[in-house]
Structure 1
Amino acid sequence: MLNVLEVVSTVAVGVMVGVEFSVVFVLNRILNALPDDSRQRGHAHAGRMLGAVMPVWYIGSLVLVAVWTVARWHGPGTGLVATAGALLILGVVMSVLLLVPINNLNKTWTPENRPADWKQLLQRWERFHYVRLVVIIAAFILLVAALV
């Protein structure tokens, strides 16, 4: 049963990393190539859609990793799993403090009501997102190493 938890936890974090990776390197590049009104609408829609799903995914992954850590407390690889959990906590904290406030603004914008600095705010969100992506990739790598 513990092996199932380990695999499910690793896959959940891995798929989350894949989604966040595709946001940075696929979705944002597509949206940023559109004319301003379409670009802004696309970012707002993505913010609403992913903003509804990702909190559950981040917290769910963190809970799985926490359970894995407790279940294997004195076993091999526990330090790696606990460190991965700490990195996931950092990812959640970064989300709440840095990314969510910008996303909450972004998802309400329309071409008629967006602020003059909307592009700069989206660029700030993207920079924070890059850092968070590095953090969760590191967590994923540690989970994979703990399995091996």
Structure 2
Amino acid sequence: MEQVVQILAVIVVGPLLGVEFGVAAFTNPILQRLPEAAYWQARGAGGRILGTAMPFWYLGSAGLVAAAAVWNRGPLLIAAVVLMGLIVLLSVTVLVPINNRVAAAVGAPGAGGVAEDAEHFHELARRWDRLHWVRVGLLAAAFVLVVLAGAR
């Protein structure tokens, strides 16, 4: 059973890392090249869609890594659980609030309606992007730990 849980953790955490890396490395840089109104529409829609699905994916991933650590109490899996906890904490306390503000920017200046200036929203988006890279790095480390724990 411990191997099944570990394999499920790899199967769920690996694609999560891939999606988050894709957002950081490709999607958001491409969106930044769009005209202002299209940028805010795409960024807002992406923030709302991913903001709806990702909490379940993150909690499922953290749960599977924790379950793998319960079944096999190795130091690598315990470290992966700690990293997943940090990732969830970073997401909930910092990234989600920023994402909610950016997602609300569909009506941002140039797109038709938020009172705050465009530069404020751009700075929020840049801050989210920088912190998202931190999350991607932590997620990559957690994934590597889960894979290495399964290989031993």
Q: TM-score, normalised by structure 1?
A: 0.94
Equivalent positions of 1:18-57 (< 5 A) are 18-57=18-57
Distance 1:114 1:30 in 2: 26
Aligned to 2:84: 88
Deviation at 1:2, TM superposition (A): 2.1
Runs of 4+ off more than 3 Å: none
Distance 2:87 2:141 in 1: 11
Q: Secondary structure at the match of 1:64?
A: helix
Distance 1:22 1:114 in 2: 31
Q: In structure 1, list runs of 5 or more residues that go unmatched.
A: none
Aligned to 1:17: 17
Distance 2:116 2:10 in 1: 40
1:115 aligns with 2:111: no
Deviation at 1:114, TM superposition (A): 5.8
Question: What one-letter code is carried by the residue in structure 2 that aligns with 1:131?
Answer: V
Deviation at 1:67, TM superposition (A): 0.9
Deviation at 1:115, TM superposition (A): 2.3
1:146 aligns with 2:149: yes
Aligned to 2:60: 60
1:79 aligns with 2:75: yes
Q: In structure 2, list runs of 5 or more residues that go unmatched.
A: none
Cα separation, partners in 2 of 1:114 and 1:103, compared to 1, 3 Å: farther
Q: How many residues were matched structurally?
A: 144
Instruction: Tell me how large the CA RMSD over aligned residues is.
Output: 1.0
Distance 2:84 2:26 in 1: 23
Distance 1:47 1:62 in 2: 21
Distance 1:115 1:126 in 2: 20
Q: Secondary structure at the match of 1:107?
A: helix
